[in-house]
Structure 1
């Protein structure tokens, strides 16, 4: 379904706040969601400059946790943008049956371009997340010269005397990557693959994982011990906050 024609409105990233929007203080993204976005981007057609999809997760009063995502079919031309809304609804119902605790929290796109079409899609997802603002995640793959790979998060605020779907400002929100212990081995494997320069990497055996974990714990204990001894000798001023953490 086409969301609408192009508009002359300009959509920019802004660091300002809008009083009528309850802005999340932090956006947390899990690796599974990022892997889904990257996989979708790798499977795109030659005609697609970017891909989009739905973000699933949970909300608190101050934080949005993005746990997974799924691709949504769409197309963009100079005249209009079209999103397969029926496919979006069907996929969400399937995900919701598997995990009823997750809800639609927003959408993602690859690249860093925020334009009129982004505003129209944002408006569509805002209907699913109301009364909460829809979160928009942009993942820059870094393949464009002069642009660094990275993840950014936004919510939107309407602008203009007469609010329209295509008239909005994207407001940046702090974003961080967080993973559970069960996801750590997969993340470590990707890091090792990047360091080795190889396109493939064998999973680390359980004993090696255990050995590395013990070494990490031992290293942390050494740092704590060195700090305590430095405080006892009077070389470092003790920090009560650090003491409470390690008590």
Structure 2
């Protein structure tokens, strides 16, 4: 049978320390890495059931099998016969995965099991811009279909699009181009300086090696 060791005092002390910095946060459950639940999951979930009502168990497959995230959420249901509880069963619940853009870029890289190299700043910016253009095309097509009567309007989507457009700063094309070009120049300057630094380090290493030989 599975055996699980849990330091309850350590858990409570860490929670108390965390709440001093983040007083508005609360425990909603726990997570584990791996593909789905295991026999030990029920034992740990039982502990969290005493800490919070109906905790959520989140499983994260860090192996990214089949190039998929496989992040799932479960709740525990008691199986009883009369007044006697026989076992606990994990039932999967819907999960909405949301990430900011920086997390999304890293997440997409992790999903690729084999990569030649990590993207640099310019490559990351290019990938972000391509994704942004694809999203804009999707929104444009949706709005065009709604106006043309091909798709039924959705008030929630319309409000979200309206809020997003309202959040965009009103800049003239020349000002926007200048901001983009300035940012691009900064990125190129950083790449140039990092290249010079690597060259200097390599040269210093070779000179040091030659001096030791002499």
Q: Using structure 1 for the length normalisation, give the TM-score.
A: 0.49
Aligned partner of 1:86 in structure 2 is: 9
Q: Are 2:57 and 1:136 equivalent residues in the alignment? A: yes
SS at match of 1:200: coil
Q: Is the 8 A contact 2:54 2:75 kept in 1?
A: yes
Distance 2:57 2:156 in 1: 40
Give the aligned CA root-mean-square deviation in angstroms. Answer: 3.9
Aligned partner of 1:197 in structure 2 is: 115
Q: Are 2:133 and 1:188 equivalent residues in the alignment? A: no
Distance 2:118 2:106 in 1: 10
Q: Which runs of 5+ in 1 are unaligned?
A: 1-5, 7-77
Considering only CA atoms, is the larger Rg found in Structure 1 or Structure 2?
Answer: 2
Distance 2:131 2:26 in 1: 34
Aligned partner of 2:46 in structure 1 is: 123
Instruction: Please show how residues 1-247 of structure 1 align to structure 2 within 5 Å.
Output: 6=1, 80-112=3-35, 114-129=37-52, 132-142=53-63, 149-161=69-81, 162-163=84-85, 167-179=87-99, 183-191=100-108, 197-203=115-121, 215=133, 218-220=136-138, 222-224=140-142, 226-227=144-145, 231=148, 237=150, 239-241=152-154, 245=158
Number of aligned residue pairs: give it: 157
Distance 1:148 1:222 in 2: 28
* TM-aligned CA deviation for residue 116 of structure 1: 3.9
* TM-aligned CA deviation for residue 199 of structure 1: 4.3
* TM-aligned CA deviation for residue 111 of structure 1: 1.9
Q: Using structure 2 for the length normalisation, give the TM-score.
A: 0.56
